[in-house]
Amino acid sequence: MTKYEAIFRRKSIRRYREAEVDEKILEEIRGFGKDALGDRPDIAVRWKIYRASDRSVRGLFQVKAPYYAALYSEICEDCYIHAGCLMQQLVLHLHTLGIGSCYQGGARLKDSREEGMELMMILAFGWPAEPLERRRADFKRAELKKLVKVNGPLGRAQRKLLEPARLAPSALNQQPWRFVVTENRIHLFVRRPGIVGYDRQLNKNMFNAGIVLSHMLIAAEEHWIDLEYQKLDSIMEKAIQNHLYAGSLVFTGTVGKA
């Protein structure tokens, strides 16, 4: 199975077997991201793995799992979207190996200090004690027409990216994203947080935007669609119905019509 195929089959896993994950795979996780799509080598990140027996992970809505992967990053512009983009590729990669996972947005670490970095997210993972996959029809997600603003029908290339985007997981399944589609671009927006806890919530929404971005980048690669992810000054100041601009996918090759 490929990461692309995993997009249409994965689900959060909340029950795990105690079985060990091979050290080779754990080592792969510790070095994950160097070949990932959307990786920004200029943003320093670090992965750490904790075992349940370490008793290092605690907090709200915690899923009991044998392992937890924590992603740290230096704090800079786009660090949350970058972290989401990397972690979701890890989720899909683990799925291709038969390993389940579940984001732990409410979890904390006993000690999350890391020189010059901050904790972005924790991911519970391990061998599943429940079905690893679900059918496409069983994804509970908003319809594309609720998420996409477009003049006229969607082009074929755009649809190939937006359907995988629609299936992306998000905290509390809130799907805090919107897409504005033009002939050669897909602009990504995230929900504008309320005043209380604005920065924290915006960081979370940007992490979610990174998840959705990873699905679109993987789909573009699958379908040989040439594009670049950019932040366009012309869109930066725009907001659509309580949403803030996160970035744009700019098609650089020929884009087929519907």
Ligand X SMILES: Cc1cc2nc3c(=O)[nH]c(=O)nc-3n(C[C@H](O)[C@H](O)[C@H](O)COP(=O)(O)O)c2cc1C
Residues contributing to the site for ligand X (CB under 6 A) = 11-12, 14, 61, 63, 102-106, 169-173, 207-208, 211
Residue number, 106 or 197, with CB nearest to ligand X? 106
Give residue number: closest CB to ligand X.
105
192 by DSSP, 3-state: which?
A: coil
CB of 153 to ligand X, least distance (A): 28
CB of 102 to ligand X, least distance (A): 5
206 by DSSP, 3-state: which?
A: helix
Residue number, 14 or 149, with CB nearest to ligand X? 14
Residue number, 63 or 190, with CB nearest to ligand X? 63
Q: How far apart, in whole angstroms, are the C-alpha atoms of residue 14 and residue 100?
A: 8
Strands (E), the chain: 45-51, 57-59, 67-73, 100-103, 107-109, 118-126, 148-150, 177-181, 185-191, 227-230, 239-240, 243-251
Q: Which residues of 51-89 are buried (b: 16+ CB within 10 A; e: fewer)?
A: bbeeebbeeeebbebbbbbbbbbeeeebbbbbbbbbbbb
CB of 210 to ligand X, least distance (A): 9
CB of 255 to ligand X, least distance (A): 29
Distance of CA 231 to the CA centre of its chain: 18
CB of 168 to ligand X, least distance (A): 8
98 phi, psi to nearest 5 deg: 90, 10
CB of 39 to ligand X, least distance (A): 19
For 16-46, the DSSP string reads B--PPPPHHHHHHHHTTTTT-TT--TTS-EE
Residue number, 158 or 203, with CB nearest to ligand X? 203
Residue number, 29 or 227, with CB nearest to ligand X? 29
Residue number, 153 or 197, with CB nearest to ligand X? 197
